[in-house]
Every structure is written in C-alpha cells, then in structure tokens.
Structure 1
Amino acid sequence: MRKYELYRETVLSTTMLEAWDFFSNPNNLTNITPEEMDFKVISKELPRHIHNGLIIDYVVRPLAGIPLKWKTQICAVNAPHSFVDEQLKGPYAYWHHEHTFEEKNGKVLMKDKVTYSPPFGVLGRLANTLIIRKKLNQIFDYRTQKILEIFKAD
C-alpha cells in the first residue's frame, strides 16, 4: 500500500487554550469543511471535547454528491498540544491525521500532517494523481481560509 502525505502549517492569533477549545470540539469540523461536501457529524451525543478512544461517525459527499460514511477514532490525545484521528471505516485504505499546536511568539503554530492511502491499489494511485490529491489540497485550502477568518491569523 503506497502512502501519501499532506502537510500544512497555519499561524493562529490566539492562545493555546482557545485553539484547543475549538479544534478539540468534534462539532467544529463542519464549520471548516467546504459546504459542497455536505459534511455532517451523525454520531449522537458527542462530548464537547475529544478524548482517547472517541469514535465519530460522519457522512460526507466528496465527489459528485455521492454520500460516503466515514468513521474515525480519536487517539493519542495530549491536550492542549496534539491529537490524532484515524479512519476506522471510510473512503481511504488508510487515513492518519496528526494535529499539533505550539506556542510561538504569543501565537499558535498549528500543524496538520495527513498520511493517507487511496483504496483500489493501482487504480487508487491513479485516482490520487488525477483527483484525490487535488481535492484534498482544495479541502485544506478552504480549511486554512476558514481558520484564518475564525482566528484572525497572520
């Protein structure tokens, strides 16, 4: 299985605790996902903040309006510095998303590192080259824009 990586850094004009409060709330993911993806958290009674072992179910429409179910588990929580979400079931053969937060000069440096593998072997690798990589970059571009609006970052 070939794995690919997406990496982003964003500087937030906020405190570590405010950043953690926002990003550790699973319901806020909807606010930073492109509207055309029709992203919905479908888990019932989610806590206000993530914890190790939390499982979250979503429905997302990444391509052509086709709904896909996605189940992730939150692991490796080190509040307020980092957490990881991993796909248990969904559109990827493998999905591992590390979120880290560091104080830097009175601001917060947020890092996202996504390691993923598309399904379907060689066809998935071709789809990654033609579609998936571009779509993920668009999603994270949108996400960065929304986060900068929310936190008035530099």
Structure 2
Amino acid sequence: MGFYQFKASQDIPASVDEVWDFISSPKNLKEITPDYMGFDITSEHASEKMYQGMIITYKVSPLLGLKMDWMTEITHVREGEYFVDEQRVGPYNLWHHQHILVPTENGVTMKDIVTYAPPFGPLGDIANAIMIRSKLKEIFAYRKKVIEEKWGVLSAV
C-alpha cells in the first residue's frame, strides 16, 4: 500500500478573516465541490462554526455515480491559521487534509496538503496512478475557480 501526498496553493486577494470564515464553514463544502461528485452533507450541524472534534458526514459519488458515506473529523483547529480534517469512514485507508492560511502583503495564500492512502493495496496504487491523483487535481482546480469567482485573482504587482 502506497502513501501519497497532493499539494495545492492559491493566492487570494482577500483578508485572512474573510477566507477563514468561508473555508472553515462546513456548509460551504458543497459550493467548492464539483456537482458531478453528488456531494451532500448529512450532518445536522453543518451550519455551525467548525471546532476541534467536530464530526461531519456526507454522501458523495466519486465514481460511476455510486453514492457512498464519508465521515471526517476536524482534528486540529488554530483559528484563522489552519485546520485538519481526517477521514473516519470512507473510501481511503488514510485521508489527512491540512488547510493552511498564510497572510501575505496583498491577501492570503491558501495551502492544502492532502496525505492519503488508497484502498486495495497494489490495486489502489494503480488506481492512484491512473485516476485518483488526476481526480484530486480536477477537484482542486474546480475549487480554485470557485474561489476566483468569489474574490478574484491576485494580480502581480
């Protein structure tokens, strides 16, 4: 079984508080997830402010339109700086997603570090090479587009 890491970074012309309020609210997850993923939050408290220990449950269709359950726990939160969600139930053997905000002179840099291990041992490694990694790139590209539509693009000075 292989372990993999996916990283994404985006410069946003907004304040840390604005970006934090948006990304740390579970209710906004659906907005930054492509429609074809069939993403629906099933937790009753999705409109609450995120906190350490929060459990969030979803239905998602990552492949072939088949709905599956996914449960994550918010394991670490430093207000305005970062939070970590870890899968408790779902398709991966390991899913650890760090969401980091770094203030910059013109806004904020949002960084994501996803460490994951696909299921099914060597078959999961093949699936990662063929499909999983490219699907992650696609999902984060969609999220980048949504964030740009919301706040614009940080132009070079």
Alignment of 1:1-154 (within 5 A): 1-154=1-154
TM-score (norm 1): 0.97
Query: What SS does structure 2 have at the residue aligned with 1:122?
Result: helix
TM superposition outliers: structure 1 runs of 4+ over 3 Å: none
> What amino acid is aligned across from residue 79 of structure 1 in structure 2?
E
CA distance in 2, matches of 1:148, 1:46: 24
CA distance in 2, matches of 1:84, 1:51: 10
Deviations 1:121-147 (A, max 9, x none): 001101111111111111111111111
Cα RMSD, aligned residues only: 0.9
Aligned-pair identity in percent equals: 42
Deviations 1:18-68 (A, max 9, x none): 111001100101000000111000001234321000000000001110111
Query: What SS does structure 2 have at the residue aligned with 1:32?
Result: coil
Query: What SS does structure 2 have at the residue aligned with 1:126?
Result: helix
> What amino acid is aligned across from residue 135 of structure 1 in structure 2?
K
Q: How many residues align?
A: 154
Query: What SS does structure 1 have at the residue aligned with 2:125?
Result: helix
**Structure 1: which 5+ residue stretches go unaligned?**
none
Question: Is the Cα–Cα contact under 8 Å of residues 27 and 47 in structure 2 kept in the other structure?
Answer: no
> What amino acid is aligned across from residue 106 of structure 1 in structure 2?
N
TM-score (norm 2): 0.95
Deviations 1:78-136 (A, max 9, x none): 00100000000101110000000011013001000000010010011011111111111
**Structure 2: which 5+ residue stretches go unaligned?**
none
Q: Which stretch of the first structure deviates more once superposed, 88-97 or 140-149?
A: 140-149
